[in-house]
Structure 1
Amino acid sequence: MVNSPDNSSILFHNNENTVFLVDLPESIAQAQEFLQATSAPGQDECVPTGQTFTISNQGNRRHKIQKRSPISTVALMMPYPSSTEPKTDSARAKVLSRTSLSEQQFHGEFIQPLVANALDDLRASYLPSDLQWCLPRAVLDETARGKEASDISDPPTKKRKLEQPHGGHWSPSNQSGEMGNSIWTTAPPTILSSTSLNIFSSTSELEGVVKNPSAEEAVLSISAVGHDGVHYPSEYIIPPRSAFVLCNLPLSQPEPLETPIPGLPSSQRFNLMLFDPPWPNRSVRRSRGYQTHSYNEMDILSQRLQDILRVHSYRSLDDFSEFSATSTDTITAPEPQEQISQEVFAAIWITNSEKARKVAYEALLASGFRIHEEWIWIKITADGQAVCPLNGIWRKPYEILVIGRKDPTLVVSDLGDATSRGNADTADLLDVDPSTVTRRVIAAVPDLHSRKPNLKPVFERILFDFASESTRKTYSALEVFARGLTSEWWACGNEVVKFNARDCWVEHDST
């Protein structure tokens, strides 16, 4: 077992890299940073985003005085009550009788024992000095909560609320009734400045790709309309070397699309694509942004995932050769000595519904990806308990990230109709044997509703060999249905900069 460095959002991982403990807010904070491994002679070190330094006349960094943290909820101290679960064995058996054997086996034999063993391993090996399985947090109202252990050590004096000034909305796509770029044309990229404020009168001016190619953050100012009808500027902090497309992804058109992401050129391809689709859920429905989709629309969502994977993933060695020659797919040109990864992955967050898992498998298989791994995010309390029973029927304490790996030998036409494959009464789903999939467990204390840990360092460690300087490779990544940006990544969606609003963050003394 390995304790991670003090400045890492990965608090702990085992030697096999199959069990991780991640601090969720810190993972988001660190995802805003660009850190150079080395600095060329005569060049200044890159200052991490979200940290303020005092600089001498010689350009040397003297001391860190501030750190930026995302506003969070107080870390959960006790598990949720299980009042919704069946009260008797007979009631439980009745519910299970309506659940397919493959779904019961998937969770009961493959997921839940793995998660239980991972939590046991963490309890035996992770020994934090404060007995907390998370770092201090910046919460909404520190004084009212009596400065609980999850609060930041030196909270700001000004209280922040999770709403825009004058009643404006978080997302620029929701302002003035505008929903991002609805014109399916490719405009030249908008290049942001890191040395001056980037002012736009409305989101309609942000057509196509918007890039911050600098090694420093950029600040975007967009006019928002308050409840009083007055325009007020809202600022968004754009991470270094990031790019985004503010757009509505077409989720109501059943036919295949050659431009599935409006504003993103079809020639733009990626080594990694991460999806957090708007799945339907009994208890969770996003009140704004994308509407969740009912089961009779799952085929459209599957088609859209397939379109994006087909158009925007690297397909052959020729793609990589073209990328190496032109460097058009990166936010900034790669250094000559950098190795470019020729691996291609796609990762899809799913609910615990078998229908959602089937759609994810179907989209990946139909796009030339084999089911490679599944990462289970187990939601825990601050002292390491699952937030609800592992074997719960109506609520499970985990979410699953299905990861596919592009396989050039996979003949997609041989897959047939994926919707008819597999047997619900056997161990497989779409002919995917669950015993052949590599799984990892990522424990993290949950935060704001629907906010997930940023797993960039885990992706890099596991998929792109970042654990060793000698093997690490340059890669390009796109997050789809994003609600926040990541340094060095691309992102798209109609809430793509939602959690990059300045009012989502606080600055405090760094210790």
Structure 2
Amino acid sequence: MSDILFCSPDKKIFLLDIPRSIESSQGGGRVRSALPLQVPHVTPEPKGKKREVLLSQVPVKELVYQQRIEENIDAAWRSIAAAFEQKAWCLPRLPIEQDVYSHLCAASQGHDASPHIPVVLSSTQNDFEAVREVQDDIIVNSAGPTCIAILEIETTIVVPSHCTFIWSRIQHGLDVMLEYECSSNSRLQFDIILMDPPWPNRSVHEHYATMKHREQNAYVDALKIVQHFHAPERYVATWITNKPAIRRQVQASMMSLGFTLQEEWIWTKTTTAGEFVVPLNGLWRKPYEILLLFKHKASACSPLRRILFAVPDMHSRKPNLKTLFDMLIGKSCVLELFARNLTAGWWSLGDEVLKYQDGNLWHELADGTLC
């Protein structure tokens, strides 16, 4: 079954299943997931005069922008609700049994000055003694789905077909990719560069200037990759927070590189019954995240807005966009920055690139074998 559970005729409204989108993006198999949310979260939203005071502090332009998004979401929600009636807004899930992905969340510092030679995986067995053997280098799987065994941490990594990954920080990944171009005498270019930067969160980091600086630098490093490796007249897609300052920063930086905003994809989170996980008009939290889609050397236009609904999965696990990219843009050479999982046919880079590839998170691989 497809990961698209609903698609409007004009392809502006979608209902996606997150676990199935991940399975489809890796060529099949069965992934373990968080149990789907049954009821909305309880949030202490301000009411009455306190709400009025807070709203009065928001610039009118921003209020209008939010109102239009909420109107678009509400209209799209009604379309799906009418079609689905009593149906669940997600497919049945195979629940995760334990916290298993901590070993695969931290990259090394990337200070090794030795030459980086791409590691080509075998189609049969790939055993590595230590974690460092698969970090900070280009790892290539040029065949069908396979696995990597890291003996040091007794972990098996699921690797989809025809994918390439670099398990490192963005800055070091840039150096490795540039070195690869030099040594292979070939130019790397990507039709789509997708990124999900670690934007600073004031509620968590307001007293941690070093962390905030590191996150800002990661985005700056990502822009260097975009500048060097994007194919002419192609796309960059960036997940942002709902903070106006972040949106302005991304639009300004993309414009400086010759990119124009073409589309906004609004991922709206619901329960299994289709209720918003938090109030749509909430002030503290919004039930949606936004992906900005830019095109290089494109004419300025009013951005097209698509609404994507999906029941949330584990923290930070977003819908995989491979199916939508293939449908709306066409088969493309894709690089995902700040990736947390692998995708068949794509390049993936990030210090959490294998976070959700742990074999314990998979019940069945794409070739039908059990983990």
TM-score (ref. length: structure 1): 0.65
Distance in 1 of aligned mates of 2:303 and 2:20: 29
Deviation of 1:355 after TM superposition, in Å, equals 1.4
Instruction: Tell me: CA distance 1:389–1:186, structure 2 relative to 1, closer, same or farther (3 Å).
Output: farther
Cα RMSD, aligned residues only? 2.6
Deviation of 1:314 after TM superposition, in Å, equals 1.4
Deviation of 1:249 after TM superposition, in Å, equals 1.9
Q: Contact 1:185–1:263 (CA<8 Å) still a contact in 2?
A: no
Partner of 1:198: 126
Instruction: Tell me: CA distance 1:356–1:240, structure 2 relative to 1, closer, same or farther (3 Å).
Output: same
Q: Aligned to 2:170, what secondary structure does the other structure show?
A: coil
Partner of 1:240: 161
Distance in 2 of aligned mates of 1:450 and 1:284: 16
Instruction: Tell me: CA distance 1:298–1:161, structure 2 relative to 1, closer, same or farther (3 Å).
Output: closer
- 1:137 corresponds to which of 66, 70, 93: 93
Instruction: Tell me: CA distance 1:309–1:292, structure 2 relative to 1, closer, same or farther (3 Å).
Output: farther
Matched, 1:277 2:215: no
Deviation of 1:450 after TM superposition, in Å, equals 1.3
Deviation of 1:99 after TM superposition, in Å, equals 2.3
Structure 1 window deviating more from structure 2 (356-365 vs 453-462): it is 356-365
Distance in 2 of aligned mates of 1:350 and 1:277: 8
Instruction: Tell me: CA distance 1:492–1:103, structure 2 relative to 1, closer, same or farther (3 Å).
Output: same
Partner of 2:170: 249
Matched, 1:162 2:99: yes
Partner of 1:106: 65
Distance in 2 of aligned mates of 1:14 and 1:367: 33
Q: Aligned to 1:170, what secondary structure does the other structure show?
A: helix
Partner of 2:348: 491
Matched, 1:504 2:364: no
The structure with the larger Rg is 1
Deviation of 1:220 after TM superposition, in Å, equals 0.7
Which structure has more relative contact order (CA 8 Å, sep 6+)? It is 2
Distance in 1 of aligned mates of 2:319 and 2:276: 16
Matches within 5 A, 1:32-111: 32-33=26-27, 49-50=28-29, 68-69=30-31, 71-83=32-44, 85-88=45-48, 90-108=49-67, 110-111=68-69
Partner of 1:262: 175
Deviation of 1:97 after TM superposition, in Å, equals 2.8
Deviation of 1:373 after TM superposition, in Å, equals 0.3
- 1:482 corresponds to which of 310, 329, 339: 339
Partner of 1:406: 296
Specify the code of the residue in structure 1 equivalent to 2:53.
K
- 2:310 corresponds to which of 435, 444, 451: 444
Partner of 1:4: none
Distance in 2 of aligned mates of 1:393 and 1:137: 31
Distance in 2 of aligned mates of 1:293 and 1:489: 29
Q: Contact 1:376–1:399 (CA<8 Å) still a contact in 2?
A: yes
Specify the code of the residue in structure 2 equivalent to 1:502.
G
Distance in 2 of aligned mates of 1:124 and 1:392: 24
Q: Contact 1:372–1:404 (CA<8 Å) still a contact in 2?
A: yes
Q: Contact 1:298–1:359 (CA<8 Å) still a contact in 2?
A: no
Distance in 2 of aligned mates of 1:107 and 1:203: 45
Specify the code of the residue in structure 2 equivalent to 1:114.
N
Deviation of 1:182 after TM superposition, in Å, equals 3.5
Partner of 1:469: none
Deviation of 1:361 after TM superposition, in Å, equals 0.7
Q: Contact 2:194–2:336 (CA<8 Å) still a contact in 1?
A: yes
Specify the code of the residue in structure 1 equivalent to 2:121.
L
Q: Aligned to 1:220, what secondary structure does the other structure show?
A: strand
Q: Which runs of 5+ in 2 are unaligned?
A: 182-186
Instruction: Tell me: CA distance 1:217–1:371, structure 2 relative to 1, closer, same or farther (3 Å).
Output: same
Instruction: Tell me: CA distance 1:299–1:210, structure 2 relative to 1, closer, same or farther (3 Å).
Output: closer
Q: Aligned to 1:133, what secondary structure does the other structure show?
A: coil
Instruction: Tell me: CA distance 1:284–1:134, structure 2 relative to 1, closer, same or farther (3 Å).
Output: farther
Q: Contact 1:302–1:360 (CA<8 Å) still a contact in 2?
A: no
Specify the code of the residue in structure 2 equivalent to 1:78.
V
Deviation of 1:475 after TM superposition, in Å, equals 2.0
Deviation of 1:101 after TM superposition, in Å, equals 2.5
Specify the code of the residue in structure 1 equivalent to 2:275.
Q
Distance in 2 of aligned mates of 1:187 and 1:91: 57
Q: Contact 2:33–2:94 (CA<8 Å) still a contact in 1?
A: yes
Specify the code of the residue in structure 1 equivalent to 2:37.
L
Q: Contact 1:299–1:359 (CA<8 Å) still a contact in 2?
A: no
Partner of 2:184: none
Deviation of 1:74 after TM superposition, in Å, equals 1.4
Deviation of 1:481 after TM superposition, in Å, equals 0.4
Q: State the Cα deviation string for residues 16-37 of structure 1 (Å, max 9, x = none).
A: 000000001111111110xxxx
Deviation of 1:162 after TM superposition, in Å, equals 1.7
Distance in 2 of aligned mates of 1:97 and 1:475: 45
Structure 1 window deviating more from structure 2 (476-485 vs 185-194): it is 185-194
Distance in 2 of aligned mates of 1:312 and 1:365: 16
Partner of 1:462: 328
Partner of 1:122: 80
Partner of 1:40: none
- 1:393 corresponds to which of 283, 296, 302: 283
As a proportion of its length, which structure holds more helix? 2
Matched, 1:210 2:166: no
Q: Which runs of 5+ in 1 are unaligned?
A: 1-6, 34-48, 51-67, 141-159, 224-230, 251-258, 286-290, 316-342, 410-431, 465-473
Deviation of 1:363 after TM superposition, in Å, equals 2.2
Q: Contact 1:479–1:489 (CA<8 Å) still a contact in 2?
A: yes
Q: State the Cα deviation string for residues 95-116 of structure 1 (Å, max 9, x = none).
A: 22332232222111x2110001
Deviation of 1:307 after TM superposition, in Å, equals 1.1
Specify the code of the residue in structure 2 equivalent to 1:192.
L
Q: Contact 1:260–1:304 (CA<8 Å) still a contact in 2?
A: no
Instruction: Tell me: CA distance 1:408–1:487, structure 2 relative to 1, closer, same or farther (3 Å).
Output: same
Distance in 1 of aligned mates of 2:163 and 2:109: 18
